[in-house]
Structure 1
Amino acid sequence: MQHTPELAAPNAAEELGHLTRAATSLGRETVDIGGFLQNLDDRCHAQLDSLGGVQNHTKNLATNSERMVQAVQRMTETADEAIDRVEKSTSFIARNGQNAQELAEWVRSVHSESTTVEEMLQAVRLSNTEISDIAWQVHILAVNAKIEAARAGQAGKGFSIVADSVSELSQKTADAADTISATVARLSEWMARLHQGAQTTSQKADEVLDRSAEADHALSEIEQRMGSLRDDAHGLSSETDAAKESVDQVGGAIQTIITSVKDVTNGVDEATRRCNTLVDTSENILQHSVALGGDGDDSEMITHVQDLAGRISEVFESALSRGRISFEQLFDESYQPIPGTNPEQVTTAFTKLTDSLLPAIQEPVLQNDPNIAFCAAIDRNGYLPTHNQKFSQPQSNDPVWNAGNCRNRRIFNDRVGLKAGQNQAPFLLQVYRRDMGGGNFVLMKDLSAPITVRGRHWGGFRIGYKI
């Protein structure tokens, strides 16, 4: 009988090593996905903000469109009323123009007939002069007849009576002639003034008659243009109605887009939350696998960070023992902003102490391992008082440059920073994207170990190194 060879039992340490590396890889991939989701979430929120602004502008545009439609409607009604009034006014002016033409023609006729009237008055004047002469001659004859009757005596008495009557009649005739002369003189003066006025008026009448055609043409043109204005107003009314309808449609489309983007944003937020949970899970798997003896790529770094955290605990306790700082000052949480800093920097009662003690521990770490990007101690709230020298530059006027080069005395209360500061387990390994400012991110590992002083948790020591 043949025996099947037994399979060798798996090496537990080796499997834990695989598990450790798998957990690290899972964390890296999950953080990368989380970064993508975060960027997508930021863009979604930015789009929502932009769409909100567009929606507000669209609402304002819709309101203005409604007002414009109402204004155009009023303009159309006004144009209709105006063209109606223009037509009535044109008809009235046309009638007045006709009357003016007839009046001008009459003035012309008066002016032309005034000469004839003057000639007639002159004839009357001449005739009246002859009547005056005849009356005077009759008066002379009556006087002579009365003289002869007086010579005749009693026989000429009847003839004397006739002579007196003739004399009286001639006197009345002379008086009437004088009256006629005076009347004719006044009539002549009136006719002269009438002639002069008729002459001036006739010239104006000629202008009226000459320009009557121009006036008719101008009135016709006014009527045509008002008709065009009315037609344009009605056309504009139709266009504004169509524009308002388009604006309303755009508003509805924008609302639909906003609703869709909100749904996407909510989905991205949920995916980000789940991704963060998955990151936490991968970190817990890594923690437990290393605790069980898993030999991952980070084993030596874990030992290193724990040793550095222990050294910082020792120098803090030594400072307390020597009276360089009080226990309350070492755990001070009253962060005082430094005026004019951007991003904001703060100080506490222990900042000067860390500036004097920590560089001797932190700087050699960077010099001995070029793969390490930074190492620094933070308190339990994420406050980083003393950073590496290359990240502790004086601030400039450029906030973007400051964000990447002036990282000391700042509070990093993001998820990674707070977890590193608040962690009290032997170590914490996190994978994250480091914000270098200006939209630049670097995928990093963040390894930290707790710092305790006289049994109280002060914070943690962080080492960041590239993946």
Structure 2
Amino acid sequence: MTQNKIPAGQLPVADPAGLGRYVEALAKRAGTLGVEAADMAGRAEDIAEQVHRQADALTEMRGQVQDIAASNRQILDETGQAESDIRTSHQRMTQAQAAIKVALDDVLSLTDGITRIEQRLPGLEQSLDQVGRVSADIERIARQTNLLALNATIEAARAGEAGRGFAVVAGEVKTLSRQTAEAVTEIQQTLAALTRQIRDLIAESGEASGKASAARAGSGQIGEAVRDIDHACTTIAATQRTVSAIAAHSRDNQASCDALVGGITRLSDTGDRMRTGIADVAQGTRNVLTLSEDLIELTAEAGVETVDTPYIQAAIAGAAEVSRRFEAGLDAGRVTLDALWDEAYQPVPGTAPQKFTTRALPFYQTALADVLEGLAALTPQTILCVATDRQGYLPVHNKRFSHPHRPDDAEWNGQHSRDRIMMTDRTAQAGLKSTKPFLVQTYRRRLGSKVELLKDVSAPILVKGRRWGVLRLCYTP
């Protein structure tokens, strides 16, 4: 729009004919500003919600990392204890290994000694047999000597006085023969006892030798056992090194977890500041949106025709028609005030979004359907027209949004089956709280995963002087 050049020191003179155009242009620009502000506020809220979810995720992640750090500390403590136990076990196993090797050498030495003794025992038995034979010869000689002494004694007696000296010698020989015989008898008894003992020893040594031989033959198995112990010692040493490495990694992990917790905490703090800043931006944008909506309302109230005027007029007229029909229904007895103000909403099982019924629902369906459907077809830009009670209950919706409910398909239902639900969003609540003859709002409507930018004009529905709710007419800006 071009402007005429104003002479210096002069103010422009109001042009009554062009004032309406200026106001209309101002209202149009205010509407555009409101649309942009609504879009910005909605996006800021989406970002704030995303930041909020991320902050929650970071908080949860921080808790998980702290749990991991605590578990890692437990692992570190248990690894240190295991490392100490393995070190002690390795020392004891090494000592046992040395003791077993010494004991094995002693066993093998004992086996060799037993074998040598067993090998010598037969020679000792032979020597004893030889002594026995010599003893037998001495005994025979003693008997013969005794017989000879007896004969000599007899001959000495015959010789008389001349054989007296010979008789003395014969007596001594006889005494020596007797003593020899007694000594031989004692020797033979000793040899017999010694022979029995030697034979018993030979028998026992044979058994011991057999066991010693078996022990020597089994030394290979003992050696294999020792080699197994050697391998176990090597394995324990390797395990000790592995546990030490695990402990070192656990300490590194602990440091990393601590650093990660610190980083997440700082990131979470930054997210909190961002969330606060975004919330401030969103609030400021909503303030701009509110000012633009107020400007549109003031322009409409001033009687200036704008792009929103047809929708404002239609909403006011539609609300008046609904009020007339409700009062007519009361007068005709087709509904009662108690039913119209029934807030005992009964949930419909298995519905998502949740649907409800009230006592006045059949009346709503006959009284509202054609009025709302006609207003929804006001212009190609009109999206919907609904009536909600003072709690936001929407008993009847337009046909395009009133398809039969689909079980287990909340996404589809959120876009196509929206009758009998509760409207609790900010725009709906603002319309219900407004005391103005009409309220213009711009907002982002979310239907499942779908988002639309709409304008909303609401007008109060009065029944017998009481505010029943509002009529809402929504269209694309």
Please report the TM-score for the alignment, with normalisation by the length of structure 2: 0.88
Once residues 122 and 58 of structure 1 are traced to their aligned partners in structure 2, the CA distance between those partners, rounded to angstroms, is 93
Please name the residue that 2:344 is paired with: 334
1:423 maps to 2:434: yes
Q: Which moved more, 1:268-277 or 1:203-212?
A: 203-212
Q: 1:34 to 1:147 in 2, by over 3 A?
A: farther
1:291-302 counterparts in 2 under 5 A?
Answer: 291-302=301-312
Question: For residues 290 and 184 of structure 1, do their structure 2 counterparts lie closer, same or farther at Cα, with a shift above 3 Å needed?
Answer: same
Q: CA deviation at 1:85?
A: 2.2
Measure how far apart 1:131 and its partner are.
3.3
Unaligned stretches of 5+ residues in structure 2: 1-6
- 3-state DSSP of counterpart to 1:325: coil
User: Is 1:52 aligned to residue 78 of structure 2?
Assistant: no
Distance 1:226 1:367, change over 3 A: closer
Q: Name 2:267's counterpart in structure 1.
A: 257
Q: Does 1:24 align with 2:31?
A: yes
> How has the CA–CA distance of structure 1 residues 12 and 187 changed in structure 2, closer, same or farther, with 3 Å as cutoff?
same
Map 1:54-203 to 2 at 5 A. Answer: 54-141=61-148, 161-162=171-172, 165-166=175-176, 168-203=178-213
Contact residue 423 and residue 460 of structure 1 kept, 8 A: no
Instruction: Report the more deviating stretch, 149-158 or 425-434.
Output: 149-158
Alpha-carbon separation, structure 2, partners of 1:193 and 1:84: 45
CA distance in 2, matches of 1:210, 1:361: 107
Residue type at the aligned position of 1:327: L
Deviates more, 1:122-131 or 1:286-295: 122-131
Judged with a 3 Å threshold, the aligned counterparts in structure 2 of structure 1 residues 455 and 221 are, in CA distance, closer, same or farther, namely closer
In structure 1, distance between residues paired with 2:472 and 2:36: 21
Give the partner amino acid of 1:392.
S
Say whether the 8 Å CA contact 2:69–2:258 is kept in structure 1.
yes
The alignment of Structure 1 onto Structure 2 pairs a total of residues equal to 463
Per the alignment, do residues 278 and 147 of structure 1 end up closer, same or farther by CA in structure 2, a change over 3 Å counting?
Answer: farther
2:416 corresponds to 1:409: no
CA deviation map 1:113-163 (0-9, x unaligned): 334323323323333333343344445545656666777789677577547
Q: Does the 8 A contact of 1:41 with 1:269 survive in 2?
A: yes
Match of 1:43 among 41, 50, 63: 50
Indicate the RMSD between aligned Cα atoms, in angstroms.
2.9
Letter in 2 for 1:80: R
Judge conservation of contact 1:444–1:466 (CA < 8 Å) in 2.
Answer: yes
Q: Indicate the larger mover: 277-286 or 208-217.
A: 208-217
Residue pair 1:16, 1:292 contacting (<8 A) in 2 also:
no
Q: Is the 1:128–1:181 Cα contact (8 Å) retained in structure 2?
A: no
Deviates more, 1:132-141 or 1:152-161: 152-161
Instruction: Return the alpha-carbon distance in structure 2 between the equivalents of residues 426 and 368 of structure 1.
Output: 20
8 Å Cα contact 2:143/2:177 also seen in 1: no
Summarize deviations over 1:351-396 as a string: whole Å, max 9, x none: 2210121112122333453332111111122111111122122222
Deviation at 1:172, TM superposition (A): 1.2
User: In structure 2, do the counterparts of structure 1 residues 402 and 139 end up closer, same or farther at CA, with 3 Å as the change threshold?
Assistant: farther
- Give secondary structure in 2 for the equivalent of 1:378: strand
Aligned partner letter, 1:387? H
Take 1:149 and 1:399, find their aligned partners in 2: how far apart are those partners?
154
Q: Deviations over 1:3-62 (max 9, x none)?
A: x89977442211221121122111100110011112111211111121122111101110
Change (3 A) 1:296 1:206: same
CA distance in 1, matches of 2:345, 2:392: 12
Q: Name the residue aligned to 1:279.
A: 289
**How do 1:309-324 residues align onto structure 2 when only pairs under 5 Å count?**
309-324=319-334
Give the letter for the 1:324 counterpart: R
Secondary structure of 2:80's match? helix
TM-aligned CA deviation for residue 217 of structure 1: 5.5
Within a 5 Å distance, the mapping from 1:314-393 to structure 2 comes to 314-367=324-377, 369-393=379-403
Q: Cα distance 1:210–1:345, how it changes in 2: closer, same or farther (>3 A)? A: closer
Aligned CA distance change for structure 1 residues 218 and 388 (closer, same or farther; 3 Å) = closer
- Secondary structure at the aligned position of 1:358 is classed as helix
Stretches of structure 1 that go unaligned for 5 or more consecutive residues are none
